[in-house]
């Protein structure tokens, strides 16, 4: 099985790799579950990039490489994968395929302060991805994602947000098909 790299994004902390598992004919039926398929795609990519390492997860589900100097954040949605490799510890990435059903989950990720802004459909996806990437960068140590992370502005491929009264930012990219955020 091979995976196809869509692109490699250099950040100030490392690299974000975008992978499309559909660009090769991978027989997903050979796996017991979707989760097994996803784990195999990630393992194969990491082995090709940095060699053979054991991938494990902490108590909150954050992935880490055993006995490695690399830190990573992983996101997948449908056939797309985003893998962020860095020598810095607190990194986060999220990718979401754009669909029409985001309205159903707005109460999960939009707080009262954010409801006072007229966000576009695309900006709602950016907010969702931002909060997921922040959650990953904090290694899951956020009790209430909607309340604790507040998006202040979205412009020029940058999201400004607050977390615990600290102003922070991350980068976003958007296409017709997906949204990607990373810090």
**Structural domain tally of the chain?**
2
Residues 38 and 109 both lie in one domain: no
Residue 176 near residue 139 (C-beta atoms within 8 A): no
In angstroms, the CA 12 to CA 114 distance is: 28
Question: Domain boundary at 76, 92, 108, which?
Answer: 92
Domain limit, last residue, from 92, 119, 143: 92
Confidence (pLDDT) at 51: 85
Is residue 126 packed enough to be buried (19+ CB in 10 Å), middle (13-18) or exposed (0-12)?
Answer: buried
Query: Rounded to 10 degrees, what is the CA torsion of 107, 84, 91, 111?
Result: -10
3-state secondary structure the chain: CCCEEEEEEECCCEEEEEEEHHHCCCCHHHCCCHHHHHHHHHHHHHHHHHCCCCEEECCCCCEEECCCCCEEEEEEECCEEEEEEECCCCCCEEEEECCCCHHHHHHHHCCHHHHCCCCCHHHHHHHHHHHHHHHHHCCCCCCCHHHHEEEEEEECCEEEEEECCEEEEEEEEECCCEEEEEC
User: What domain range includes position 157?
Assistant: 96-182
The answer on 73 and 12 residing in a single domain is: yes
Instruction: Indicate whether 64 and 100 sit together in one domain.
Output: no
pLDDT digit string (tens) for the chain, length 183 residues: 455 678 999 999 999 999 988 776 677 888 899 888 888 888 888 888 888 888 888 888 888 888 889 999 999 998 899 999 999 989 999 999 998 888 888 999 999 999 999 999 999 999 999 999 999 999 888 999 999 999 999 999 999 999 998 999 999 999 989 999 999
| Residue/partner pairs of 71-74 with CB below 8 Å, 24 or more apart | 71/14, 72/46, 73/133, 73/136, 73/137, 73/182, 74/42
What is the value of pTM for the model shown? 0.91
Last residue of a domain, one of 92, 110, 135: 92
Query: Do 82 and 132 share a structural domain?
Result: no
């Amino acid at each position: 099985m091979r995976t196809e790299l869509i692109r490699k994004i250099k950040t100030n902390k490392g690299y974000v790799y975008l992978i499309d598992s559909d660009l090769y004919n991978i027989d997903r039926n050979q796996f017991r579950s979707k989760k097994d398929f996803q784990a195999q795609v990630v393992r194969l990519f990491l082995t090709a990039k940095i060699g053979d390492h054991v991938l494990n997860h902490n108590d909150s589900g954050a992935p880490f490489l055993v006995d490695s100097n690399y830190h990573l954040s992983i996101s997948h949605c449908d056939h797309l994968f985003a893998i962020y490799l860095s020598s810095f510890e607190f990194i986060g990435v999220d990718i979401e395929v754009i669909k029409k059903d985001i309205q159903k989950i707005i109460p999960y990720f939009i707080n009262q302060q954010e409801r006072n802004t007229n966000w576009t459909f695309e900006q709602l996806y950016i907010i969702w991805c931002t909060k997921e990437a922040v959650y990953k960068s904090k290694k899951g140590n956020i009790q209430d994602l909607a309340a604790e992370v507040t998006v202040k502005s979205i412009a020029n491929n940058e999201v400004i947000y607050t977390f615990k009264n600290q102003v922070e930012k991350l980068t976003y990219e958007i296409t017709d098909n997906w949204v990607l955020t990373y810090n």
